Structure formats: C-alpha cells, structure tokens
Amino acid sequence: MGLLDGKRILVTGVLTDASLAFAVARLAQQHGAEVVLSGAGRGLSLTRRTARKLTGDVEVLEMDVTRPDQLVAAAAALGRRWDRLDGLLHAIGFAPPECLGGDIFRAQWDQVQVALQVSAYSLKALVEAFRPMLAAAGTEGGMGASVVGLDLDAAVAWPVYDWMGVAKAALESLSRYLARDLGSQRVRVNLVAAGPVKTVAAKSIPGFSTFEDTWAERAPLGWDVRDSEVVAKACIGLMSDLFPMTTGEILHVDGGVHAVGG
C-alpha cells in the first residue's frame, strides 16, 4: 500500500530529472498518486521531455506563476480532469543575477521585485488559483489537501544567497498566513527547508558551491548534494495522511545543519 494511494497531486518546478520536484513526482507515483506537472516559458519543452521519464503519460500544464491568465487556464484545465486536488507542490524559485552573489546592495527594486514575485508571492498566486479544488479535498469526509513548498532556511544570512534569502523569508511568513486562512477548509500549508542539492537553479547561483562544500561537514547526519530523494520523502510524508494536524510548519531536511552552531 502506498502512502498516497488515490491522491491527485500537482507538481510544479520539474525542469530536469535533477529538479527536486522531479524526485517528488517520481516518489509520489511510487506511493500510488496520480501526478500532473506544470512548466513555464522556455523551460516548458524541457519539462515535457522530463515528464517522459516518469511512469505513464503524465500531463504537463503550461503555467508561469507570474501570468494570471496562465494560472486561470491551468486551473480550468486541471478542473476538467479532476474534481479535487489532494496535494500541491510549490518548487519555484528565480532571482535575477544582480540579486545573488554576496553583495546585498547590488540589486535594485526592479530586480528584487522579480525575485520576490517568482519565489514568494507565487505561493499565494498558485494556491489562489487552485483553492476551490484544494478545498474540495476536505469535503465529504475527505482528509483535506496538503500544500508543500520548498524552502532554504531563512533564519540566518547565508553567503551568496542574498535576495533569494529575503524571498525565502517572505515565503516562510506567507506559508504561515496561508495556513491561517486555509485551515478552516482543511487545507494544510507547510514548507520543507532543504539542504543544498545540485539542480539547475542551484548551479545558477554564483558561489553556491560554498554551501555545497561545507554542508556535509557541518551536518550532524552528513549530507549528499546529489540526493534529492531525502527531500522528496519529506514532501511525500507531508502530502500523506500521516500529518493531518500539521500546518504552518517548516520541516528541515538538511542533515541537521539548522540545529547546530558554526
């Protein structure tokens, strides 16, 4: 028996098979879920190609989270397929190059607002678009829906992460407000704060190797930057029926780095 038997899950943020979201989609299928993906912009064809590495004919919706028209169209398309949504993975992040690299003064508002919109506000935009379908999972005795977002612990200032760190702090706060406002509809909203994993997004951050090089040494449990499945397992757990009373939570999957001093 799978942890997600019979559940219907929308997974955003699959670009390549190195994407954290790909590990979530694959594991969700292995646990019995039906999965639909979404992709955006120039990456959409890559998402479609990556979808073929999953089991069966996986539908890919076009959905740039900064495009309200695409959010509406994607929700309508998914609504024609499913009458409810049990799980929603937010695995979306982007910041212009000026926002990263180790100088917080370099970026101006034009660049910062892009980072905040794509990496933080998009959680609200996404949940809003699929809210009726998420709420439907909590009716007629259903267990309720689970929204999971991917975070990098924003409690401290990291090297090079700069405005992405600020965006993650916003994402953390936003997840708590969404948890507050969606609890009455039995929709849970939680984040998984992951340690560094080698993905396209991670490689685009100049100096990200400073995270990767030191993480394993600092982590009480050790850390493998090529292992996305440990992050996926936590997402699957939060989407399963094993955490029915957990919302507004940040679950650290970082080998324990958040718990120890430098």
Residue 246 · residue 191 · CB < 8 Å: no
Residue 191 · residue 170 · CB < 8 Å: no
Our answer to whether residue 161 is catalytic in this structure is yes
Spell out the residues 6+ positions from residue 76 whose beta carbon is closer than 8 angstroms to its own.
Answer: none
Task: Determine whether 161 is exposed, middle or buried from the number of CB atoms within 10 Å of its CB (0-12, 13-18, 19+).
Answer: buried
> Residue 260: helix, strand or coil by DSSP?
coil
Q: Does 37 bind ligand NAP (CB under 6 A)?
A: no
**Smaller CB distance to ligand NAP: residue 87 or 196?**
196
**Smaller CB distance to ligand NAP: residue 194 or 238?**
194
Q: Does 138 bind ligand NAP (CB under 6 A)?
A: no
Residue 92 · residue 114 · CB < 8 Å: no
In the list 194, 230, 234, 250, the residue contacting ligand NAP (rule: CB under 6 A) is 194
Beta strands in 167-213 (DSSP E): 187-194
Whose tokens are 């995270």? That residue is 211
Q: Which of 53, 124, 161, 198 is catalytic?
A: 161
For residues 224 and 222, give the distance between their C-alpha atoms in angstroms, rounded to a whole number. Answer: 7
Q: Which stretch binds ligand NAP (CB under 6 A): 74-82, 131-139, 145-153, 241-249?
A: 145-153
Write the interaction track for ligand NAP spanning residues 100-129; mark x where CB under 6 A is met and - where it is not.
------------------x-----------
Q: Does 66 bind ligand NAP (CB under 6 A)?
A: yes
Q: Which of 7, 53, 124, 168 is catalytic?
A: 168
Residue 178 · residue 189 · CB < 8 Å: yes
Q: Which stretch binds ligand NAP (CB under 6 A): 18-26, 95-103, 129-137, 244-252?
A: 18-26
Residue 252, beta-bridge partner list: 193
Residues identified as active-site: 161, 168
Q: Which residues bind ligand NAP (CB under 6 A)?
A: 13, 15, 19-21, 39-41, 43, 64-66, 91-94, 118, 150-152, 194, 196-197, 199-202
